[in-house]
A and B are shown apart, each in its own frame.
Chain A
Amino acid sequence: SYLISFSFQQRIEIHKLRQGDNLILGFSIGGGIDQDPTQNPFSEDKTDKGIYVTRVTAGGPAEVAGLQIGDKIMQVNGWDMTMVTHDQARKRLTKRNEEVVRLLVTRQSLQKAVQQSMMS
């Protein structure tokens, strides 16, 4: 049997929420070129040093926009996120003068569904 993994890309637009003095997006990121890729639970390839979504707060702007836990962020507002450090990624997401961020994310899904449909 073959293992086919589908990963498709999605564009997600998140409107930041103002909380006091801060603009929050409602999710947490992990990863980066200065981090240890083997400890990333969401990546398929354990040498992948990209930025991954590790948590999504319930009801927050990210969840509303359709971001899911485990998504890999490829671009933020046109800026590449596959070869950045953790701190650079954080900075690109939390620019004070931006109220909307447009993310290009990639998500692995449908693996189990495909396998099951192939076996039956």
Chain B
Amino acid sequence: MSAAMDTESTYSGYSHYSGHSKKAHRQGRDRHKSPRSKDGSRSEKSVTIQTPPAEPLLGNDASRAEEGQDDNWGETTTAITGTSEHSISQEDIARISKDLEDSVGLDCKRYLGLTVAAVLGLLVFLTPIAFILLPQILWRDDLEPCGTVCEGVFISVAFKLLILLIGTWALFFRQPKADLPRVFVFRALLLVLIFLFVFSYWLFYGVRILDSKDTNYQGIVQYAVSLVDALLFIHYLAIVLLELRQLQPVFTVKVVRSTDGESRYYSLGHLSIQRAALVVLENYYRDFTVYNPALLTASKSRAAKHMAGLKVYNVDGPGNNALGQSRAMIAAAARRRDSSHNELYYEEADHERRVRKRRARLVVAVEEAFTHIKRLQAEEQQKAPGEMMDPREAAQAIFPSMARALQKYLRTTRQQQYHSMESILQHLSFCITNNMTPKAFLERYLNPGPTLQYDRDRWFSKQWTLVSEEAVTSGLQDGVVFVLKCLDFSLVVNVKKIPFIKLSEEFIDPKSHKFVLRLQSETSV
């Protein structure tokens, strides 16, 4: 195949991408519909996972191999995503409707909480001002004149309110970044405390000052200042409870992904389980490599082969001895001398070699492609106006020479569904613009990166479920285990307390470092 044909097939491949992919998409979809875990109801704690039969996977591989000549960047394999585009089955409808009603319920709760907090905040902020203004409005003539001390207090009230306003804005006015199942206990407690506090102040004010029309204006103003001071202290309490308390690390948390066992450790302070789950999820998107269902097919087919090899015949007559049957199967499987470990070893060694070979070809192709591009300096730009290209055109010009090698490499490492031709071209023009070397361009494709690197809408899970035996607002303890489930996999989180460390000191005098020779001589006499 000449290079000209290569370029032709690349460009035309993109144009008939949609027609071709729909066919394969539908094929693949029918075969792959089952491996999604059916997480229909939120109240149940069990998940049913159906494993697909072994043959269709191999068949799909074969069909993909024969269409390998086509430089097609579209989705010729199935991607198991959360949103279904073409076909909607009965269970999908049920699930979507439940999602809708759940989301409506949660939104209402969130907005209700926000409005309550906002109303309370406004009330609290206006209270001192009201305390000061009401006597002026209602019985101005009876009031004692306000001396210099009193007017000084006005200034301090104004500034303290300003500080309170800025502090509240900094602490509380934030975009909610997550939707948690239960209320924040500390926030609710603080709101209740503020409400009770302000209520009691109003009560006192109403009874002792409004009713009796107290004429000591300075006293009233001092009263208002004391309210603002107390509010500032409550703000300090809020900072300590909501922000500072969980900064010191107390627990070490191990997060393991259920499908492939990838694990990480994080340090957390005193948090409630739901907030700890939030921290874990935020770090998950940054630290864990992206979930790739295509990598799991090998182990699933091996598992199917293990159990499919044995058949149980009941010769002792009718009687459903299921437990005895399964025990017999397990014992027989253990005794059977199968060579699947051999297969696995050679398969993996083979795969490793293939990946390395393709990687070498890819690196060479990309390096060669990058040598064709040269950045024009400013003075050169005036000299040769005819051939100048912007980064996008330059990327499109060198792309065909590396396209085949890149596609083959992505296919071998099963990452092809994460990169479309458009995204590759964009990345290439980005690298050209920023003077990146070929290796920098390739780092995105050689190894699977964290989920954040890929298209947000497709690969981010929209809905996570927190499964926990303890209440999600209770704090973390040593030995707590909770599970974060999404459609395709789950993250098992294990909490361990950092042990109490007893550190003692030992002083060594620098002069005490003395040494002696250890001899063993032999003398002949």
Contact = CB atoms under 8 A, between A and B. Distances in A.
Q: How large is the interface on B (under 10, 10 to 19, 20 to 34, 35 or more residues)?
A: under 10
Interface in A72-103: 86, 90, 93-94
Interface stretch (A1-9, A29-37, A107-115): A29-37
A27 B521 contact: no
A39 interface: yes
A27 B525 contact: yes
B89 interface: no
B122 interface: no
Contacts of A30: 520-523
A66 to B, nearest CB: 16
Contacts of A54: 522
Contact of A29 (B518, B519, B525): B525
Interface string B502-525: 000000000000000011111111
A27 B519 CA distance: 20
B523 A29 contact: yes
A25 interface: yes
A27 B521 CA distance: 14
B416 to A, nearest CB: 66
Contacts of B525: 24-25, 27-29, 90, 93-94
Contacts of B519: 34-36, 86
Contacts of A34: 519
A30 B522 CA distance: 5
A35 B518 CA distance: 6
Nearest to A39: B520
A55 interface: yes
Interface in B462-521: 518-521
A29 B519 CA distance: 14
B518 A39 contact: yes
Contacts of A35: 519-521
Contacts of A40: 520
A22 B207 CA distance: 123
B520 A28 contact: no
Interface in A50-71: 54-55, 57
B521 to A, nearest CB: 6
B188 to A, nearest CB: 70
A28 B518 contact: no
B520 A29 contact: no
Nearest to B524: A28
Contacts of A90: 523, 525
B518 A36 contact: yes
11 contacts: A24-B525, A28-B524, A29-B522, A29-B523, A29-B525, A30-B522, A34-B519, A39-B518, A55-B522, A57-B524, A90-B523
Can you list the 6 inter-chain pairs with the closest CB atoms, starting with the nearest?
Answer: A36-B518, A28-B524, A39-B520, A93-B525, A30-B522, A25-B525
Interface of A: 24-25, 27-30, 34-36, 39-40, 54-55, 57, 86, 90, 93-94
Given A35-B520, A86-B523, 6 more contacts: A28-B524, A29-B525, A30-B520, A36-B518, A55-B524, A86-B519
